Chains A and B, each alone.
Chain A
Amino acid sequence: DIQMTQSPSSLSASVGDRVTITCRASQSISSYLNWYQHKPGKAPKLLIYAASSLQSGVPSRFSGSASGTDFTLTISSLEPEDFATYYCQQSYSTLLTFGGGTRVEIK
């Protein structure tokens, strides 16, 4: 299986901060990388697919980028509703895998 390693596992930030979350794949996965937001008691929500394509309806403060096997999710200016856990997921293999998640907490 392809392993996805996210960092950090958690972070504290304030409203208005720029936040960056990283995901590293254990092998080359091209741009087959998705990002999801998950809040307690809710279903996960797709933010970014194909490493950098913004899902319809998702605010433009969310962006994704890729460099080799490293992928980054950036929130340009954190809003109160952005406090959640974020997961990367590879879809290069037909057996998909998630990263361990990054919890974004209020400072």
Chain B
Amino acid sequence: QVQLVQSGAEVKKPGASVKVSCKASGYTFTSYEINWVRQAAGQGLEWMGWMNPNSGNTGYAQKFQGRVTMTRNTSISTAYMELSSLRSEDTAVYYCARIAVAGTVYYSDYWGQGTLVTVSS
């Protein structure tokens, strides 16, 4: 069965970087794009960007341009999201999700369990 398993919770100081991993299993990793979504406490879902595990191509929401990097290691079917220059507003649960396609419509059908990143001095 399809599973996305994320790395554990992180506590970081302002200005630091965090790298969250997302290990895929149960399907061909390079056949589906991965996107990242976050939710801060009391806030809604916020889409951060996508990565094509086959080509390595990425697309980032304007808000995160210059601060986020999405990469992958195909040998271990794992996607990564690194966010730099962390500030307190980046405290959130971060999710990875697989992007499926129906015709030309993209949607996230399988999700990781979420990783809490806390930014605090």
Give B contacts to A, CB under 8 Å: 35, 37, 39, 44-47, 49-50, 59-62, 95, 97, 102-109, 111-114
Contact with B along A40-53 (1 / 0, CB 8 A): 00011110011001
List, in ascending order, chain B residues with CB within 8 A of A101's CB. 44-45
Q: Is A67's CB within 8 Å of the partner chain B?
A: no
The reply to whether B44 and A91 form a contact with Cβ atoms under 8 Å apart is no
Contact with A55, one of B59, B104, B106, B109 (Cβ below 8 angstroms): B109
Rounded to whole Å, the gap between the CB of A66 and the closest CB of chain B is 12
Q: Is A89's CB within 8 Å of the partner chain B?
A: yes
Q: Is A34's CB within 8 Å of the partner chain B?
A: yes
CA distance A95 to B49 in the complex (A): 7
Main secondary structure of the interface of B (DSSP, over half): strand
Give A contacts to B, CB under 8 Å: 1, 31-32, 34, 36, 38, 43-46, 49-50, 53, 55, 85, 87, 89, 91, 94-101
List, in ascending order, chain A residues with CB within 8 A of B44's CB. 85, 87, 98-101
Contact with A44, one of B49, B61, B104, B108 (Cβ below 8 angstroms): B108
Rounded to whole Å, the gap between the CB of B18 and the closest CB of chain A is 19
List, in ascending order, chain A residues with CB within 8 A of B107's CB. 34, 46, 49-50, 89, 91
List, in ascending order, chain A residues with CB within 8 A of B95's CB. 43-44
Contact with A97, one of B47, B102, B106, B108 (Cβ below 8 angstroms): B47
The reply to whether A96 and B35 form a contact with Cβ atoms under 8 Å apart is yes
List, in ascending order, chain B residues with CB within 8 A of A87's CB. 44-45
> Known interface pairs A43-B95, A43-B112. Does A91 touch B106 (Cβ–Cβ under 8 Å)?
yes
Q: For residue A48, which residue of chain B has the nearest CB? A: B107
Rounded to whole Å, the gap between the CB of A62 and the closest CB of chain B is 14
> Known interface pairs A44-B95, A44-B111. Does A96 touch B106 (Cβ–Cβ under 8 Å)?
yes
The reply to whether B102 and A50 form a contact with Cβ atoms under 8 Å apart is yes
Cross-chain pairs A/B with CB under 8 angstroms, 25 sampled: A1-B62, A31-B105, A32-B104, A32-B105, A32-B106, A34-B105, A36-B108, A38-B39, A43-B114, A44-B37, A44-B97, A46-B109, A49-B107, A55-B109, A85-B44, A87-B45, A91-B105, A91-B106, A91-B107, A94-B50, A94-B59, A96-B47, A96-B50, A97-B61, A98-B45
